[in-house]
Amino acid sequence: MKHLLIALTCLSFLGTSSVNADTLAVDKIDLDINSYLQRILSGPDTACYEHIISSLIPESKHSEYYLRFEDTNQKTAVEVGSYDSSYLYTCIDGKLLSWDAGESTALKDFN
C-alpha cells in the first residue's frame, strides 16, 4: 500500500490530471520514471513489467498504451492496457496475466 501511494504521488507530479493521477501513457515513461518503478516494484514484478514494455508492446505503439497501479487485496499490481480496447496486461506477485473482456489468462511466472 505504501508503494502504491508513493507511485500515485509521483505520477501526479508528472502532470497527469487529478482524476487519472494513477495513469500514465507508456510513451511518457522516461529513464527517471523507469528507474523509480524498478525501485518500488519487487524483482519479479519489475521483470514482468519490463517484459511487457519491451516484448509485448511494439515501441511504435507505446502511445496507445497506459501504465496504471492498482491495489488488489493488499497487493500492488502494475497494469498496462490499451486506450482503444479492453485488452490489458497485469503483473501481480511476479505473474504476468493478460485480460480481455474480463477474462484472464496466465502468460508467464517471473518468480
pLDDT tens profile 34-69: 888 888 888 899 999 999 988 988 888 889 999 987
**Statement: residue 16 has pLDDT above 80:** no
- Name the residue with higher pLDDT: 108 or 76: 108
CA–CA gap between residue 35 and residue 20 (Å, rounded): 21
User: Residue 85 burial (CB < 10 Å; 0-12/13-18/19+)?
Assistant: exposed
Q: Please report the pLDDT score of residue 95 as a whole number.
A: 94
Tens-place pLDDT, residues 89-103: 999 889 999 998 888
User: What SS3 state is found at 91?
Assistant: strand
Q: What are the residue boundaries of the structural domains of the chain, listed by start?
A: 2-109
CA separation for the pair 70, 2 (Å, rounded): 12
- Using the predicted structure, report yes or no on whether residue 5 has a pLDDT greater than 80: no
